[in-house]
A and B are shown apart, each in its own frame.
Chain A
Amino acid sequence: MILTLLILIPLVAGIISMFAKGAAKGIALTAAIATTVTTVLLLMAMNAVATGGYTEWSIPWIPTLGANISLMADGMAGMLCLLTGIVMTVVFITNWNKDVENPGSFYGLMLLSQAGITGVFLASDALLFYFFWELALIPVYFLCSQWGGEKRIAVTFKFFIYTFLGSLMLLAGLIYLSLQNPGGDSFAWENIKRAGASLPVDQQQWLFWLIFIAFAIKMPIFPFHTWQPDTYEQSPTPVTIVLSALMVKMGVFGVLRWLLPVVPEGVAFWSDTVMTLSVIGIVYASLLAIVQTDLKRLVAYSSIAHMGLMSAAAFANNGVATHGLMVQMFNHGINIAGMWVIVSMIEQRWGTRNMKELGGMAITAPLMTITLVIISLANIALPLTNGFIGEFMLFNGLFSGTSQYSMTFMVIAGLGIILGAIYTLNMVQRTAYGEAVALKQGGDLTKNEYIGLAIIIALIIVLGVYPKPLLDLTAGMATMVMP
Chain B
Amino acid sequence: MTNLVYLVPLFPLIGFLINGIGWRKIPKSAGGVIGSVAVLASFAVSLGIFFEVKAAGTGTTVHLFDFIQSGSLNIPFIFQVDALSSLFLLIITGVGFLIHVYSTSYMHDDEGMVKYFAYLNLFVFSMLLLVLGGNYLIMFIGWEGVGLCSYLLIGFWFKNREYTNAAKKAFVMNRIGDLGFLVGMLLVLFNFGTLSYQDLFGQISAGTSPVTDSTYNWIAICFFIGAMGKSAQLPLYTWLPDAMAGPTPVSALIHAATMVTAGIYMIARSSVLYNLAPMAQDLVAVIGLATAIIAASIAIKQYDIKKVLAYSTVSQLGFMFLALGVGAYTTAVFHVMTHAFFKALLFLGSGSVIHAMGGEQDIRKMGGLNKHMKITGITFLIGCLAIAGIPGLSGFFSKDEILASVYAHSPVMYYLALGAALMTAFYMFRLYFLTFTGKFRGTHEQEHHLHESPAAITIPLVVLAILSIVGGYIGLPPVISEHHTLNAYLAPVVSNFNVHHLEHATEWMLMGLSTGLVIIMIGVAYSLTKNPNFAPNTGIAKVLENKWYVDEVYDAVIVRPIAALSGLLNNIVERMGIDGAVNGVGKLVNWSGGKIRLFQSGQVGFYIFAMVLGITVLFAISFFWIQ
Chain A residues with CB under 8 Å of chain B are 157-158, 161-162, 223, 225-227, 284, 287-288, 290-292, 319-320, 323-324, 360, 362-363, 366, 377, 382-384, 388-389, 392-393, 395-396, 399-400, 410-411, 414-415, 417-418, 421-422, 425-426, 429, 432-435, 466-468, 471, 475, 478
Q: Which residues of B contact A384 (CB under 8 A)?
A: 141, 145
B140 contacts partner chain A, Cβ-Cβ < 8 Å: yes
Asked whether A410 lies within 8 Å of B159 as measured between CB atoms, the reply is no
Interface CB pairs A-B, < 8 A, 7:
A158-B583, A227-B582, A290-B562, A323-B70, A384-B141, A429-B164, A478-B70
Asked whether B565 lies within 8 Å of A395 as measured between CB atoms, the reply is no
- How far is B168's CA from A408's CA once the two chains are assembled, in angstroms? 28
Q: A287-B565, A323-B70 are in contact. Are A418 and B186 (CB under 8 A)?
A: no
Chain B residues with CB under 8 Å of chain A are 24, 65-71, 73, 137, 140-141, 144-145, 148, 151, 155, 158-159, 161, 164-165, 167-168, 171-172, 175-176, 178-179, 182-183, 186, 189-190, 562-563, 565-567, 569-570, 574, 578-579, 582-583, 585-586, 589
- How far is B175's CA from A410's CA once the two chains are assembled, in angstroms? 16
Asked whether B70 lies within 8 Å of A324 as measured between CB atoms, the reply is yes
Contact among A226, A290, A433 for B578, CB-based, below 8 A: A226
Q: Which residues of A contact B167 (CB under 8 A)?
A: 425
Q: Which residues of A contact B137 (CB under 8 A)?
A: 392
Contact among B145, B562, B566 for A383, CB-based, below 8 A: B145
Q: A396-B73, A434-B159, A467-B68 are in contact. Are A415 and B179 (CB under 8 A)?
A: yes
Asked whether A320 lies within 8 Å of B578 as measured between CB atoms, the reply is no
Majority secondary structure of chain A interface residues (helix, strand, loop or mixed): helix
Asked whether A392 lies within 8 Å of B175 as measured between CB atoms, the reply is no
Contact among B151, B183, B563, B569 for A411, CB-based, below 8 A: B183
- How far is B565's CA from A59's CA once the two chains are assembled, in angstroms? 56
Asked whether B155 lies within 8 Å of A433 as measured between CB atoms, the reply is yes
Q: Which residues of B contact A366 (CB under 8 A)?
A: 24
Q: Which residues of B contact A382 (CB under 8 A)?
A: 144-145, 148
Q: A411-B183, A414-B183, A417-B179 are in contact. Are A284 and B569 (CB under 8 A)?
A: yes
Q: A382-B144, A383-B144 are in contact. Are A291 and B70 (CB under 8 A)?
A: no
Q: Which residues of B contact A393 (CB under 8 A)?
A: 68, 70, 73
- How far is B500's CA from A61's CA once the two chains are assembled, in angstroms? 83
Asked whether A417 lies within 8 Å of B175 as measured between CB atoms, the reply is yes
CB distance from A167 to the nearest CB of B (A): 15
- How far is B186's CA from A395's CA once the two chains are assembled, in angstroms? 8
Q: A382-B148, A475-B70 are in contact. Are A410 and B586 (CB under 8 A)?
A: no
- How far is B155's CA from A324's CA once the two chains are assembled, in angstroms? 33
CB distance from A325 to the nearest CB of B (A): 11
Q: Which residues of A contact B189 (CB under 8 A)?
A: 396, 399-400
Q: A162-B582, A414-B182 are in contact. Are A467 and B67 (CB under 8 A)?
A: yes
Asked whether B168 lies within 8 Å of A426 as measured between CB atoms, the reply is yes
- How far is B589's CA from A223's CA once the two chains are assembled, in angstroms? 20
Q: Which residues of B contact A422 (CB under 8 A)?
A: 168, 172
Q: Which residues of B contact A435 (CB under 8 A)?
A: 159
**Smallest CB-CB separation from A229: which chain B residue?**
B574
CB distance from A132 to the nearest CB of B (A): 26
Asked whether B159 lies within 8 Å of A360 as measured between CB atoms, the reply is yes
- How far is B148's CA from A76's CA once the two chains are assembled, in angstroms? 33
Contact among B71, B164, B570, B582 for A288, CB-based, below 8 A: B570
**Smallest CB-CB separation from B71: which chain A residue?**
A319
Asked whether B164 lies within 8 Å of A433 as measured between CB atoms, the reply is yes
Q: Which residues of B contact A362 (CB under 8 A)?
A: 158
Q: Which residues of A contact B73 (CB under 8 A)?
A: 320, 393, 396
Q: A393-B70, A396-B186 are in contact. Are A287 and B172 (CB under 8 A)?
A: no
Asked whether A433 lies within 8 Å of B159 as measured between CB atoms, the reply is yes
Asked whether A161 lies within 8 Å of B148 as measured between CB atoms, the reply is no
Q: Which residues of A contact B570 (CB under 8 A)?
A: 288, 291-292
Q: Which residues of B contact A399 (CB under 8 A)?
A: 183, 186, 189-190
- How far is B159's CA from A360's CA once the two chains are assembled, in angstroms? 7
Asked whether A158 lies within 8 Å of B566 as measured between CB atoms, the reply is no
Asked whether B566 lies within 8 Å of A290 as measured between CB atoms, the reply is yes
- How far is B158's CA from A414's CA once the two chains are assembled, in angstroms? 29
CB distance from B299 to the nearest CB of A (A): 29
Q: Which residues of B contact A223 (CB under 8 A)?
A: 578
CB distance from A260 to the nearest CB of B (A): 17
Q: A162-B582, A323-B71, A471-B68 are in contact. Are A414 and B179 (CB under 8 A)?
A: yes
**Smallest CB-CB separation from A420: which chain B residue?**
B175
